[in-house]
Amino acid sequence: MISPIPKGVSVHKKKWIFINPKPRYPHFTDKIQISLPLNVLMVTSLIRQYYDIDVIDERVTKLDEDFTGYDIVALSCRTPNVKRAYELADKAIEAGKIVMLGGVHPTLNQEESQKHCTTLISGEFEPVWDELREDIENHRLKPLYKAKDLYPIADLRPPDVEHFFKLNNPKKYSSRVPIFTTRGCLNTCNYCCVPEVYGKVYRTRDVKLIVEEIRMHQKRQRKKSINVFFVDDNICYQADYFKDLLEAITPLGISWNANISINFLQDKKLLRAMKTSGCDMLSVGFESLTPETISYVNKKTNRVNGYEKTIADLKENGIAVLGYFVFGFDTDTYSTFYSAYDFIMQNKIEFPCFTIATPFPGTPLYNELESRLFHKDWDKYDVNHLVYRPRNFDPEKFVKLYIEMLQKIFALKSIYYRLKGLRLDWAWAGSIGMHMSTRKLQPAGLL
């Protein structure tokens, strides 16, 4: 548990600025709608209980890089925006500030990241907050803070969204509300860093607090029918907990979507309960249509021969599919692209999402492919650039075919074929946005 504020402690002893750095290459979807940075909101809400803090999301707000008025400069980063984080952190160090780095990339690349900060936060923030705060007050900050154990998240309060919006225009964000209900993932996919950062233990948050958070956003948006995105890596690992969540949110009148492993979608009764509670879309990591690739990436939950039935069951219950497909693994060939295109069109997947296999530093895939990397320009480690030499592809031909397939998938006639008969909603808007974005792609831009 986070310790309560003791009597007599000043909350304005040090002035903070917390920055969410802008990546050099925004994701395709960020060009359509920018999502609220939930992790930033959670961390800064804790800090604000004790300190005066400004929060800047560089994706929507221009940053004044003069840090004169601050004592502590804190930055959270992933691999695609870590170079910008380092740039800002180095400037803050030159200005004599306490500089803190945290997030996925610094957690998995401590030696590199510690060159750009005075203090590194490894892993989750909540477990080290009490110690960190005490050390700040006593002027004895350590170079590294790392939790010994995974943090029990049951009682984590909703974040302070209103304070965040004082410096970041709410109109620039998607109206879709990010909320987390669980942390951790039991899968061991070789391209994923989640088990290393959030653990292989599945932790759940009190359902009452999730309902409270939804109602807070309903009040903020002045309507009941808000759209919620449950950002969990996999929302359905504990069946009893998930059923309790569905029962609690059903009366709220929201629509919602979430990430879910395909193996949890075999229960038709559960699908009906999900639809009744407001589920209108699920993000499903199909990843590949070949069992060899599924085995290669160690995604044991996927059964390729069950994909089509799962999609049909979702459509029968009025739940749309955002389907993820990854290209470039060592088991892939040129035919992989054509098979994926045919599968998407035949099954009328509402919103297909193509990504390029990316060996993020700190993952098993990175360790395997490090000798084949073209570079370590972290800006391009964003699943939209080819950063290593694939076994079965010429790099230039690979990116040309990747773009060709994206443009075919999001051609107007393809969009109409997949979505005709559906109401004009996010799938139409997102697909038209992708049509516009993919028209501009050039092969050199993905290398």
pTM value?
A: 0.94
Name residue, tokens 């480690």. Answer: 381
- First-to-last alpha carbon distance for the chain, in angstroms, is 46
Whole-number pLDDT of residue 31:
61
pLDDT of residue 237: 86
Which of 4-18, 130-144, 263-277, 282-296 has the least mean pLDDT? Answer: 4-18
**Position 243 pLDDT exceeds 90:** yes
Taking CA atoms, 16 is separated from 48, 195, 196, in Å, by: 9, 30, 28
pLDDT over 90 (residue 200): no
Residue type, 446: L
pLDDT at residue 151 greater than cutoff 70: yes
Span of 54-63, 96-105, 209-218, 232-241 with lowest mean pLDDT = 232-241
Q: Does pLDDT of 121 surpass 90? A: yes
* Percent of the chain whose pLDDT exceeds 70: 96
Beta-carbon contacts of 361 under 8 Å, excluding residues fewer than 6 positions away, are 79, 105, 108, 109, 376, 378, 381
Give the H/E segment covering residue 232.
none
- Neighbour tally for 219: CB within 10 Å: 11
Which pLDDT belongs to residue 196?
Answer: 82
pLDDT-derived band at 29 (thresholds 50, 70, 90) equals: low
What pLDDT shows up at residue 28? 62
Q: What is the pLDDT of residue 275?
A: 97
CA atoms of 352 and 358, how far apart (whole Å):
18
Mean pLDDT score across all residues of the chain? 93
Q: What is the DSSP string of 244-290?
A: HHHHHHGGGT-EEEEEE-GGGG--HHHHHHHHHTTEEEEEEEEE-S-
Domains and CATH numbers, the chain: 15-146 (3.40.50.280), 175-446 (3.20.20.70)
Per-residue pLDDT at 32: 63
β partners of residue 257: 229, 281
Q: What is the DSSP string of 107-163?
A: HH-HHHHGGG-SEEEES-SHHHHHHHHHHHHTT---SEEE-SSPPP-TTPPPP-HHH
Tens digit of pLDDT for each residue in 373-405?
999 999 999 999 999 999 999 999 999 999 999
CB 305 within 8 A of CB 290: no
What are the pLDDT digits (tens) for 209-231? 999 999 999 999 999 999 999 99
